[in-house]
Amino acid sequence: MPSETRQLLFLLTLAAFASSASFRVCDPMLPGLAGEFAASTAKVALIITGFTVAYGAMQLIYGPLGERFERFRIITLATALCSVGSLGAALAPSLEMLTACRILTGVAAAGIIPMSLATVSELVAADQRQATLARLFSGQILGMVFGQVLGGVCVDFGLWRLAFGVLTGLYLLIAFALRQKAHLGPATRGATPSTDSMASLYRTALGMLFARETRGVMACFFVEAVLVFGVLAFLPLYLHQRFALALSEATLPLMLYGAGGLLFSSVAARLGRRMNHRAFPVAAAGLVALANVVALLAGHPGWIFAAALLSGFGYYQLHSALLFQITQRAPTMRSLALALSVSLFFLGQSVGVSAAGWLVGQGRITLVFAIAALGMPLLGLVAGRQIRPA
């Protein structure tokens, strides 16, 4: 791989890191901000839901934009706009202004990771793409952990504005570095932009949802999110209820889940070479299913901690296989296909968490894990049938 391409991929990974950090930085802040602005936790939570809704909705905009304009330029502009939103959040005099700035950041951040995935698909040959996508995941995972730690530490010291200040500086540095690489020409331009109208691109997007070539993979994205995030959302509560762990201890498996993803990204290239391409997602889903069985049967929380590491490895293995396939199935409309997949993935998260929340409210939290344990092997088999070799 040429050194210039390596540099671009490194910058895209940094951009994904910053985007993921923004996504999670407010999670630990809610109690502190509720006191700061004398508002209810539900009202303060709008800084998270506003960001998330904006991020998900904007996929329907960035998909067509990625086909009409140079993706690298979109990523650069989105990163720069994130610095504006983060700076506004750092200086916000009111909760309403903070919420508005978080929505602005969500609007901008939505264009970074999907456009980066599409750019990687253009820059990297098919036989190296899955391993490269896994390295991009490592930036996302580290960004999530960094965002949560940054937000938690800053709010503990009463310096929540500093967290947004750090993100502002990070975004500015990345945007400047991306702008400096714009001179590399074809490497940053990618495929020739489409001349189709936005209306035509939206018709194409609607067709992708039902086309035999893409609908199976997109459905897998949705089901994957339903099964995985329904469990993740209530794993700390499960540990708290079953083993009487403090909530601070009960969140440790979420970090181990991310560590499992990092472990996968470090061995993704070797796994891709050694495993049968159809067995790759089947084995991945099997690991996640096994982790859920362990969670149900464990007599000690340590087993669930280990299961979280295993589940993180399997989830990122499955997700990378699906991402690779969607870039293969729509080689001339990758931005559109990836944006649609991300939208379905977000919808699946919402459905999964809502359904799991209803079961938890009925006192049937173990059923959440049982459904995932049974559903993941079926998903793996379906995903395996969707896989085509590079």
- Cβ–Cβ under 8 Å, residues 338 and 118: yes
What percent of the chain lies above the pLDDT cut of 90? 40
CATH number attached to the domain at 3-195: 1.20.1250.20
Give the count of alpha carbons within 13 A of 112, CB side only: 36
Residue with tokens 């495993």: 275
List, in order, residues 6 or more apart from 78 with CB less than 8 Å away: 108, 109, 110, 111, 112, 115
Long-range CB contacts (within 8 A, 24+) of 252-255 = 252/305, 253/304, 253/305, 253/307, 253/308, 254/308, 255/145
pLDDT of residue 131: 75
Give the count of alpha carbons within 13 A of 15, CB side only: 35
Question: What confidence category does residue 11 fall into, taking pLDDT thresholds of 50, 70 and 90?
Answer: very high
Mean pLDDT of 165-178: 96
Q: What is the dihedral of CA 15, 19, 24, 29, to 10 degrees?
A: 100
Question: What confidence category does residue 248 fall into, taking pLDDT thresholds of 50, 70 and 90?
Answer: low
CA dist 257 to 102, 251, 306, Å? 26, 10, 9
Domain residue extents for the chain: 3-195, 204-386
Mean pLDDT of 91-112: 95
* pTM score above 0.85: no
Question: What confidence category does residue 30 fall into, taking pLDDT thresholds of 50, 70 and 90?
Answer: confident
Mean pLDDT of 213-242: 89
Mean pLDDT of 257-276: 86
Question: What confidence category does residue 236 fall into, taking pLDDT thresholds of 50, 70 and 90?
Answer: confident
pLDDT of residue 124: 80
pLDDT of residue 109: 95
Would 3-195 and 204-386 be classified into the same CATH topology? yes
Task: Say if residue 203's pLDDT is above 60.
Answer: yes
pLDDT of residue 96: 96
115-146 residue pLDDT tens: 898 888 778 877 777 778 778 878 888 898 88
List, in order, residues 6 or more apart from 255 with CB less than 8 Å away: 145
- Torsion angles phi and psi, residue 92, rounded to 5: -60, 125
Question: What confidence category does residue 193 fall into, taking pLDDT thresholds of 50, 70 and 90?
Answer: low
Long-range CB contacts (within 8 A, 24+) of 157-160 = 158/32, 160/29, 160/32, 160/33, 160/36
87-100 residue pLDDT tens: 999 999 999 999 99
pLDDT of residue 105: 97
Question: What confidence category does residue 303 fall into, taking pLDDT thresholds of 50, 70 and 90?
Answer: very high
- Cβ–Cβ under 8 Å, residues 211 and 336: no
Q: In this structure, which amino acid lies at residue 4?
A: E
Give the count of alpha carbons within 13 A of 85, CB side only: 27
367-384 residue pLDDT tens: 999 999 999 999 999 999
Task: Say if residue 352's pLDDT is above 80.
Answer: yes
pLDDT of residue 166: 98
- Cβ–Cβ under 8 Å, residues 106 and 50: yes
Mean pLDDT of 231-238: 86
Question: What confidence category does residue 390 fall into, taking pLDDT thresholds of 50, 70 and 90?
Answer: low
Give the count of alpha carbons within 13 A of 326, CB side only: 31
What percent of the chain lies above the pLDDT cut of 70? 92
pLDDT of residue 162: 97
The per-residue pLDDT of the chain, averaged, comes to 87
Q: Report d(CA 337, CA 354) in Å as an integer.
A: 26
- Buried/exposed code over 225-261 (b: 16+ C-beta within 10 A; e: otherwise): bbbbbbbbbbbbebbbebeebeeeebbbbbbbbbbbb
Question: What confidence category does residue 168 fall into, taking pLDDT thresholds of 50, 70 and 90?
Answer: very high
Residue 100 or 250, more confident: 100
Mean pLDDT of 248-257: 82
Task: Say if residue 186's pLDDT is above 60.
Answer: no
Token output for 230: 């329904």
**Superfamily grouping for domain 204-386:** MFS general substrate transporter like domains (1.20.1250.20)
Question: What confidence category does residue 291 fall into, taking pLDDT thresholds of 50, 70 and 90?
Answer: very high
CB atoms within 10 A of CB 366: 14
